[in-house]
């Protein structure tokens, strides 16, 4: 496994693979890797001849009062996990390599202009998806992968990337991978490391709300508001939890829906203390 810090090194490596007729998968990450990321790597290693993992905490997707500086980093551990998973190349650029204007700034963005990135997480994180689309576009241009792998944990992100790939004709297959959870149900996240013991316990209200919502729908509840209200009540019963949103939306457009039907996404963001966690489920019928 190689580690590249520059765009030129990645291009040279991928060009050599292409000459041999090999296919390439990309797993974009912000590092502090866990089993959720590993599941994406596994899928890529299975589907593609070569796998590239990018490890880059992208400044353009963080708002002014978010956790850019505090975001956990452990590149030595990340490298070991990638090696174990059979990854071929880690792209670990510094901020100036990705944003040559300096200070993580750019004047060129990729942005979806309709309401899709303004819903759900976009309400409290207005520039987030513009930053995600910009960095993912750059990674696509650098690696030129056949396939790219994203987690359903970030369901709005996944839908936005699919839309962007369609709108900009990227010609890359986007593969969505299921949410990986801790044994007690908490969705794995690099941000779980912020939680103290009490908060870690409180954080279970997210996955419990997911289970409740799923169960109500399985039992025949078709009114999205009733499902959402019951989920909110469960979360509000947890003193350390503060709801950012719990919402039922169309899984493609992120537009709010009233009726539960196939491909509805029920998504939430909840503060546990100062830590903002997300979780979701999609309605399969």
Q: Give me the residues that bind ligand AMP (CB under 6 A), please.
A: 29-30, 36-37, 39-40, 150-151, 153-154, 177, 179-180, 187-190
In angstroms, give the least distance from the CB of 90 to ligand AMP: 13
Pick the closest to residue 264 from 227, 230, 219, 232 (CA basis).
Answer: 227
> Packing angle between helix 155-167 and helix 128-143, nearest 10 degrees?
60
- Which H or E element spans position 150? strand 147-151
In angstroms, give the least distance from the CB of 119 to ligand AMP: 17
Residue from 34, 37, 92, 128 carrying the catalytic annotation: 37
Q: Which CB sits closer to ligand AMP, 221 or 245?
A: 245
In angstroms, give the least distance from the CB of 34 to ligand AMP: 7
Q: Which CB sits closer to ligand AMP, 187 or 270?
A: 187
Q: Which CB sits closer to ligand AMP, 213 or 260?
A: 213
Neighbour-count burial of 262, counting CB atoms closer than 10 A to its CB (0-12 exposed, 13-18 middle, 19+ buried) = exposed
Let me know if 37 is a catalytic residue: yes
Q: What Rg value do the Cα atoms of the chain yield, rounded?
A: 19
Give the torsion through C-alpha atoms of 78, 82, 83, 88, to 10 deg: -130
Which runs of consecutive H residues, i.e. helices, occur in the chain?
7-19, 35-47, 75-85, 95-98, 121-124, 128-143, 155-167, 197-202, 204-218, 224-236
Q: Which residue has the tokens 């963001």?
A: 269
Q: Which residues pair with 223 in a beta bridge?
A: 259
Q: Which CB sits closer to ligand AMP, 29 or 79?
A: 29
In angstroms, give the least distance from the CB of 19 to ligand AMP: 29
Q: Which CB sits closer to ligand AMP, 57 or 248?
A: 57
Pick the closest to residue 62 from 115, 124, 137 (CA basis).
Answer: 124
In angstroms, give the least distance from the CB of 25 to ligand AMP: 13
The set of catalytic residues is 37
């Amino acid at each position: 496994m190689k580690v590249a810090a520059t765009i030129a090194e990645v291009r040279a490596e991928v060009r050599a693979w292409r000459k041999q007729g090999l296919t390439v998968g990309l797993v974009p990450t912000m590092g502090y890797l866990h089993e959720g990321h590993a599941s994406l790597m596994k899928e890529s290693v299975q589907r593609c001849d070569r796998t590239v993992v990018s490890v880059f905490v992208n400044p353009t997707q963080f708002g002014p009062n978010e956790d850019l500086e505090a975001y956990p980093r452990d590149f030595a551990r990340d490298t070991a996990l990638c090696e174990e998973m059979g990854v071929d190349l880690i792209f670990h650029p510094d901020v100036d390599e990705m944003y040559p204007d300096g200070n993580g700034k750019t004047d060129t963005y990729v942005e979806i202009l309709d309401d899709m990135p303004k819903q759900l997480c976009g309400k409290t994180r207005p520039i987030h998806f513009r930053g995600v689309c910009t960095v993912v576009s750059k990674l696509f241009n650098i690696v030129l992968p056949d396939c790219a792998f994203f987690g359903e944990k970030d369901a709005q992100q996944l839908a936005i990337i699919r839309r962007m790939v369609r709108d900009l004709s990227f010609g890359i297959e986007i593969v969505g991978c299921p949410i990986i959870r801790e044994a007690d149900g908490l969705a794995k996240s690099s941000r779980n490391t912020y939680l103290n013991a009490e908060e870690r316990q409180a954080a279970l209200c997210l996955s419990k709300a997911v289970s409740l919502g799923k169960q109500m729908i399985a039992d025949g509840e078709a009114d999205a508001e009733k499902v959402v209200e019951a989920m909110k009540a469960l979360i509000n019963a947890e003193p350390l939890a503060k709801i950012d949103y719990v919402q039922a939306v169309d899984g493609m457009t992120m537009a709010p829906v009233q009726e539960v039907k196939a491909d509805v996404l029920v998504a939430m963001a909840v503060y546990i203390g100062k830590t903002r966690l997300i979780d979701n489920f999609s309605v399969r019928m």
